[in-house]
Amino acid sequence: MALNVGIFKTRALTSLIFVLVMLAGLLWNTWSFLILLSVIHFGCWREYQRLIGKIDPDYLLISPYHKYGVMLAGWCFMLYASRDAYPLAGITLSQAGFWGGIVLLFVLPALEVLFVQKINFRNIGYSLLGLLYISLSLAFFVNLRIKYEDALMGDFTGKLLVLIIVLIFWVNDTMAYIIGSLFGKTPLTAISPRKTWEGTLGGIVLAILVLGLIGYFVTSEFDWGIILQWMGLAAIASVAGTLGDLLESKLKRMADVKDSGQILPGHGGFLDRFDSLLFALPFVWVYVLLFVK
């Protein structure tokens, strides 16, 4: 597959803007990060519901209470994951998220029974999957950003941790595209015919090496333990991210669409851009909790 310079420039520019926006959200304050992830959350949910509706038309018939209520319930997950940050009028957003989630848990089924008078358990299952796929994953991201706000992990604070996670996906995605375009010959899977083993492995290896170099230059004292921890983080995020990309490709094939949306030139919609991140975040969260000190 030859490298299409025009497509590559568009993808690279979009990725660069994505990284800069994430950087601004990270470095400004915790509020900017929460607002940024809230936009991503609702954008992903909108596209997810549209994809599922194309796969199973019955899902298009869900009530407005179901459609928007599940988005708000997922957002409450994110608020709850913020721990004790964001104090407002004597309460925290974490407390607001907890009680908001409890209220929605009881109110939404009641509204469904009262006004729709029919419960489709398959549609409920689709929405529960969306909560796990989108909302819970982004809640882990919020938790990582807040949990290590002041604590040091090697020389990495919570801000740098989240920035490094974003960088891993950007390097992996960009390098996989370049190497696959220049040297790719062996298709990875029929789910995504344009992906190759050469590009996939090249992107993963380079992401690991880049993070290893960052660990080498950023740590105040040379420590192989810390460097290997962050190379391991890159490996976990890259491999899981690749699986996430394939999962979203499978959903798009089932829905018979090329992109989940059109908001990001060269990358499609929110899910097209954040599919790797969403799938990988639970694995990243567990890895950081267990191994990164």
Integer Cα distance of 179 and 174 in angstroms: 9
Q: Are 30 and 85 in contact (CB under 8 A)?
A: yes
pLDDT value of residue 2: 52
DSSP 2: -
Predicted TM-score (pTM) of the model is 0.88
Identify the band that residue 133 occupies on the pLDDT scale cut at 50, 70 and 90.
very high
Tell which residue, 153, 141, 202, has the closest CA to residue 176.
202
100 versus 267: which is more confidently predicted? Answer: 100
184 versus 137: which is more confidently predicted? Answer: 137
CA atoms within 13 A on the CB side of 216: 7
- At 32-89, the pLDDT tens digits run 888 999 999 999 999 999 999 999 999 998 988 899 999 999 999 999 998 776 666 6
As a whole number of angstroms, the longest Cα–Cα distance in the chain is 64
Number of domains in the chain: 1
Q: Give bridge partners of residue 87 from the DSSP assignment.
A: 92
- At 240-287, the pLDDT tens digits run 999 999 999 999 999 999 888 777 655 578 998 899 999 999 999 999
Residue 176: which domain range?
Answer: 5-291
Integer Cα distance of 188 and 9 in angstroms: 24
Tell which residue, 126, 133, 81, has the closest CA to residue 281.
133
158 versus 228: which is more confidently predicted? Answer: 228
Question: SS3 of 86, please?
Answer: coil
For residue 166, report the phi and psi dihedrals to the nearest 5 degrees.
Answer: -60, -40
* Region 112-119 average pLDDT: 73
Q: Sign of torsion, CA 234 238 240 245?
A: positive
Question: SS3 of 29, please?
Answer: coil
User: Residue 218, class by beta-carbon neighbours within 10 Å (0-12 exposed, 13-18 middle, 19+ buried)?
Assistant: middle
Question: SS3 of 150, please?
Answer: coil
pLDDT value of residue 130: 96
How much of the chain, in percent, has pLDDT values that exceed 70? 85
